[in-house]
């Protein structure tokens, strides 16, 4: 979940926590968009100097809601060449987890940015999906992340290759499995043009078969999105063959039963 520091979310962490308590969730976690080495890289994340403020706001939510377990994470963009920066960020605070996300296929193109939708018309969907999954596979192999975020984000605008993408999924899932990286069911996909959970059912089923660990996320950018469509996500996990999920504390993975909802 996010905070206003990323410049495109509303509501403070303590407001998200209040909503979670109303819903009866036992545990939540924040993973706002982490800074890049250059603050002018883009305009939809916290600046490097705001990292301490981010941690302080999550800590205030913990103080305000001691009955709720609140995890401190970060959603970190994976771009080749950023590895040292990500390692440096990892050392700055007592993180519970890092979610690695591929939004950028190059320094100048975030494939999920509506303002850059025209870029999709410059190449075949399969070319974009292949580059996306290759970069995601690299992220899995980097050893920098506990969880990979919204793993089929390339479907956000419902631009699908006519070809079978199963080989792309397999390569990625084998890497995730080998490096012990989890994926998430992220319910934000239901709120986008693709109108389905990230990842789609086929990819989730392959992930279950490959033994890739699973977490759940609403990717909330506002308090009313906390835990949104969570029951549907859990049901989808079961249908795909998952019997367990996982949670993270200080970047250690623990196995947990699937939630009952």
Residue 80 burial (10 A CB sphere; 0-12, 13-18, 19+) = exposed
Beta strands in 4-45 (DSSP E): 27-33
Q: How far is the CB of 149 from Zn ion (least distance, A)?
A: 5
Stretch that binds Zn ion, among 21-29, 101-109, 231-239, 242-250 (CB under 5 A): 101-109
Q: How far is the CB of 112 from Zn ion (least distance, A)?
A: 7
Q: How far is the CB of 209 from Zn ion (least distance, A)?
A: 25
Query: Rounded to an integer, what distance in angstroms lies between the CA atom of residue 205 and that of residue 182?
Result: 14
Residue number, 101 or 229, with CB nearest to Zn ion = 101
Query: Binding residue for Zn ion (CB under 5 A) from 3, 101, 137, 186?
Result: 101
- Using a CB cutoff of 8 Å and minimum separation of 24, what contacts does 160-163 make? 160/125, 161/124, 161/125, 161/126, 161/129, 162/125, 162/126, 163/126
Binding residues for Zn ion restricted to 32-71, rule: CB under 5 A: none
Residue number, 24 or 199, with CB nearest to Zn ion = 199
Residue number, 21 or 120, with CB nearest to Zn ion = 120
Stretch that binds Zn ion, among 86-94, 98-106, 171-179, 198-206 (CB under 5 A): 98-106
Query: Rounded to an integer, what distance in angstroms lies between the CA atom of residue 30 and that of residue 98?
Result: 10
Q: Select the residue whose beta carbon is closest to Zn ion and give its number.
A: 101
Given its phi and psi angles, is residue 201 left (phi above 0), alpha (psi -120 to 50 degrees) or beta? alpha
Q: How far is the CB of 229 from Zn ion (least distance, A)?
A: 17
Q: Is 137 in the site for Zn ion (CB under 5 A)?
A: no
Contact residues toward Zn ion (CB under 5 A) are 101
């Amino acid at each position: 979940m996010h905070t206003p520091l990323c410049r495109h979310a509303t509501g403070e962490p303590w407001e998200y926590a209040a909503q979670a308590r109303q819903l009866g969730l036992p545990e939540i976690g924040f993973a706002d968009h982490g800074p890049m080495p250059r603050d002018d890289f883009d305009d939809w994340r916290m600046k490097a100097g705001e990292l301490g403020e981010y941690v302080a706001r999550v800590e205030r939510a913990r103080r305000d809601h001691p009955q709720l377990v609140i995890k401190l994470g970060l959603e970190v963009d994976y771009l080749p060449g950023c590895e040292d920066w990500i390692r440096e960020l990892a050392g700055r605070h007592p993180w519970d987890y890092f979610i690695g996300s591929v939004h950028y296929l190059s320094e100048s193109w975030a494939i999920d940015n509506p303002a850059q939708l025209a870029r999709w018309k410059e190449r075949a969907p399969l070319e974009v999906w292949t580059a996306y999954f290759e970069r995601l596979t690299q992220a899995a192999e980097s050893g920098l992340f506990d969880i990979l975020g919204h793993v089929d984000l390339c479907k956000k605008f419902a631009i699908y290759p006519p070809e079978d993408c199963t080989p792309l999924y397999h390569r990625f899932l084998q890497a995730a499995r080998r490096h012990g990286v989890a994926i998430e069911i992220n319910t934000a996909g239901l709120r986008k043009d693709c109108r389905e959970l990230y990842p789609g059912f086929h990819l989730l089923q392959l992930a279950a078969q490959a033994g890739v660990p699973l977490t759940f996320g609403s990717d909330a950018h506002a308090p009313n999105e906390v835990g949104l469509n969570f029951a549907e996500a859990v049901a989808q996990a079961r249908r795909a063959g998952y019997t367990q999920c996982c949670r993270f504390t200080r970047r250690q993975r623990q196995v947990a039963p699937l939630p009952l909802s």
